[in-house]
Each structure stands twice: as structure tokens, then as C-alpha cells.
Structure 1
Amino acid sequence: MKTVLITGCSSGYGLETARHFLAQGWHVVATMRTPRAELLPRSERLRVLPLDVTKPESIAAALEAAGPIDVLVNNAGLGLFGAFEATPMATVREIFETNTFGMMATTHAVLPQFRQRRAGLVINVTSTVTLAPMPLVAAYTASKTAIEGFTESLAFELEPFNVRVKLVEPGYGPGTRFTANGAERMQGLIPEAYAPLAQSIFAALGSPAAVTTEADVAEAVWHAANDASTKLRYPAGADAIALSQGQ
């Protein structure tokens, strides 16, 4: 029976993905900065561990407690919506520390066991902003686009060791906590000059042609985890699929 470790399980995609893998009979190591076991069904196959991907000692402790794993799902991330010129560089660095460097650090820590066993899979969750960039998410888009390039290169690098790396690209998910989790961080990032642009974007997002649900992402991650092919990208959600087909 396989074991998956998932980062960012306190809400949204990570939480639903943990639930999905549990329902499918896997051993699940659900990690979050502040563990809340009550969010998930009780199961002997479940472990809920603390993990802050921006802290190397936290990553090391979580992996030691988890023991050998078969799949790492790098899902932890921060959202950011605002005009780039109004965004402090400290905030930009904060976004990259979690979305990009945190993902790299967790991957870096797990690769030795995968390489030595000549087996393992890393799944990195990004976003369709990497396929269709939009205004007012420049820093966020940059953090996710960096993951795409990193993942594609790493897939070639690890192929001789039978270690695979894949991408799951969710579309727009209004049901997630993307905005709520970053509300404080986004205060004051829409100057008056950018207000009309922001209003038009919010209006468009208020009535999208298609949306991505948390279940869509969980299913895409599940598909990627069980696909033995060398396929790299897995769009999640009807809007993501449409965008990927238009590339």
C-alpha cells in the first residue's frame, strides 16, 4: 500500500486531496503549519504532521516522522492579488519563499530516498496563470511559472533514477481560500489608478464560463499519482483543460 505526503492540507486543494487519497485506500501524511486532525476522517492510514515549507528544520522533522513515502505532493502555497508597483518586495519574497523555494526545499529533502530506492514521484501543484497570465497577479504568476520550468528540467534530470516529476495545473477556483488566506497581505495593493482594472477583473471572475473545484484538483493529483507514463502536465478543471488545449 502506497504512502503520499501532501503539503498545505489545512484547506482547499490540499485538504480535499488528502481526503481523496484516504478514500482510495492509501496511507496519507497530511501536513500543515498548525496540525488540525479534526479536518480529516479518522483512519489508521492517516498521519497529520506539522510542516512549514519555509523552514528546513520543519521539513526534516516531518520527513523523519513520516518515514518512507512513495509520492510527494507539493501543494502548499500563498495567493496574491494586487498591482505589482504597489506590492512591497518583502511581500514578493514571502510569496516566493512558500510557493517556489518552499516547494524546492521539500523536494530537495525527499529526493535522496527516492533516488536510492530508484522509485518515487513528485507532483507540483501550480496554476493555469502559467498558461494564460492575467493582470494584477504578476508576482504570484512568476512564483508558479518558476515551478513549471523547475519541474520540467528536474523530470529529465531524475529520469535515469526512475524518479518521476509531474505538474498539476488547476484553473480558477472561486471556492478555495486563495483570497481569504491572503486578505491581510493584499491590503493596499490596489491603488486608485488600478481600481478600474481591478473592478473589471473581479466582474469577470464573478461570472466565469467554467470553474475548477477542489474535487477536480484532487482527481487530477490522483490521476497523476497513478499514471506510470512520462506525461508531465495534468490540467485540473474544465477551464484548465480548455486552456491547455488552446496552447
Structure 2
Amino acid sequence: MNTVLITGSSSGYGLQTARHFHDRGWTVIATMRTPREDVLPKSSRLRILPLDVTQPESIAACLQAAGPIDALVNNAGIGVVGAFEATPMAHIRKIFETNTFGVMAMTQAVIPHLRARRSGVIVNVTSSVTLAPMPLAAAYTASKMAIEGFTGSLAHELAAFGVRARLIEPGYAPTTRFTANSGVRVEDLIPAAYEEFAAPIFAAFAKPAMVTTEADVAEAVWQAANDLSGQLRFPAGPDAVALAQGHAG
């Protein structure tokens, strides 16, 4: 029986991915900064553990409690929507600590175990902004772009040891709590000089032509975790697929 550890499982993509893997017979270790027992079913194949990917001691304690795993899904992330000019550097660093350095720290901690067993997979969740950077998300885009390059390089390093690295590129999902953990309000990051520019962008957010569901992302993670073809990128959702096709062209 395979075991997957998923970061950021209290809501959104992570929560749906935990359910998806559990429903398909895997043992699931769902991690959260603040564990919530009410969001997932009681099951002998499902454990909830505390984890803050920005804290080395939290990572070490979580992996010690988790035991051997076959797959790591680096899903935890935060975002800020707003003009880059108005985004404090403290918030930008916070985004990178979770979205970039947190992913790298988790990956570095897990690699020795997977390498020793010469098997396993690391799945990193980025975003379709890496395919088509969007305005008002410069810092977020940069943090996810870094993971794209990181994972591509990592895939080459780990292949020699039978370990796979994969990328999930979700499209726009209105139901996700994109900025919930950022600690900053969107309205504080739109100066008067940007209001005219931002208005049609927020209008498009409110009525998107295509959307990505949490189920789309969970299925893409499932496919990536079980893929043996060598495919690196897995766009998730119809909008992300369309962007990936245009990107490839």
C-alpha cells in the first residue's frame, strides 16, 4: 500500500487531493499548520499531522512522525494580489518562504529516504501563471516560476536514483483561499494610480471564461504521482490545458 504526504491539506487543493488519494486506496498523511480533525473522514488510512513548511523543526518532527512515504505533494502555498509597487518586501519574503523555500526544504528533507529506497515521487504544485504571467501577481508568479525551474533540474538529478519529480500547473480556481494566509488585504495593495488598470482585471476574475476545480487539481496530482512516462508538467483544469497548449506552440 502506497503512502502520500500532502502539505497544506486543511482546504482547497490539498484537502481535495487528500480525499482523492484516500478514496483510491492510498494511505494519506494530511498535514496542516493548524490541524483540523473535522475536514477529513475518520480512517485507519488517514492521519493528520501539524506542519509549518517554513520551520525546519516542524518539518523534522512531521517527517519523523509520518514514517516512510512513497510520495510527497508540495501543495502548501500563499498568494498576494496587488500592484508590485505597493507590496511590502516583508510580504514578498513571506510568499517566498512558503511557496519556494518551504517546498525546497520539504523536498530536501525527503530526498534521502526516497533515494535510499530508489523509488518514489515528489509532486510540486505551481500555477498556470508560470505559463502566462498575469498582472497584479508579480511576487506570486516569481515564487512559482522558481519552483518550475527547481523541479525541472531536480528531475534530472533524481532520475538516476529511481525517484521522480513532477509539476502540477493549476488554472484559475475561484473557490480556493488564494490570499487567505497572506496577512494582507487586496485593497491595501491597489494604490489610486492603479485603480483604472486593475478594474477590468478584477472584473475578469469575477466572470472567468473557464475555471479550474479542486477536483481537476486532485486528479492531475494523482496522474502525476502514478506517471512513469517521464512527463514533467501536468496542467490542471481546462484553462491551464489551453494555456499549456498555446505555450507549447
Q: TM-score range by the shorter chain?
A: over 0.9
> Could you list the runs of 5+ residues in structure 2 that have no partner in the other structure?
none
Aligned to 2:218, the other structure's residue is in SS state: helix
> Could you list the runs of 5+ residues in structure 1 that have no partner in the other structure?
none
Aligned to 1:37, the other structure's residue is in SS state: coil
Corresponding residue number in structure 1 for 2:160 = 160
Corresponding residue number in structure 2 for 1:79 = 79
CA distance in 2, matches of 1:198, 1:191: 10
1:184, distance to aligned residue in structure 2 (A):
3.0
- CA distance 1:151–1:101, shift in 2 (3 Å): same
CA distance in 2, matches of 1:3, 1:110: 13
What one-letter code is carried by the residue in structure 2 that aligns with 1:61?
Answer: A
Corresponding residue number in structure 2 for 1:232 = 232
1:179, distance to aligned residue in structure 2 (A):
3.4
Contact 2:91 2:182 in 1 (8 A): no
Corresponding residue number in structure 2 for 1:136 = 136
1:198-236 CA-partner distances (Å, limit 9, x unpaired): 111011111111100000000000111111111000000
Normalised by the length of structure 1, the TM-score is 0.98
What one-letter code is carried by the residue in structure 2 that aligns with 1:168?
Answer: I
CA distance in 1, matches of 2:180, 2:47: 27
Aligned residues: 247
CA distance in 2, matches of 1:25, 1:114: 21
Contact 1:3 1:70 in 2 (8 A): yes
What one-letter code is carried by the residue in structure 2 that aligns with 1:151?
Answer: T
1:185, distance to aligned residue in structure 2 (A):
5.0
Contact 1:84 1:139 in 2 (8 A): yes
CA distance in 1, matches of 2:179, 2:99: 15
1:12-42 CA-partner distances (Å, limit 9, x unpaired): 0000000111111100000000000210011
Verify: 1:173 aligned to 2:173, yes or no.
yes
CA distance in 2, matches of 1:231, 1:8: 24
Aligned to 1:38, the other structure's residue is in SS state: coil
Normalised by the length of structure 2, the TM-score is 0.97
Verify: 1:4 aligned to 2:4, yes or no.
yes
What one-letter code is carried by the residue in structure 1 that aligns with 2:64?
Answer: E
- CA distance 1:185–1:108, shift in 2 (3 Å): farther
Aligned to 2:177, the other structure's residue is in SS state: coil
CA distance in 2, matches of 1:27, 1:235: 25
Residue correspondence of structure 1 range 4-43 to structure 2 within 5 A: 4-43=4-43
CA distance in 1, matches of 2:143, 2:62: 24
Identity %, equivalent residues: 70
What one-letter code is carried by the residue in structure 2 that aligns with 1:43?
Answer: S
CA distance in 1, matches of 2:230, 2:132: 24
Corresponding residue number in structure 1 for 2:221 = 221
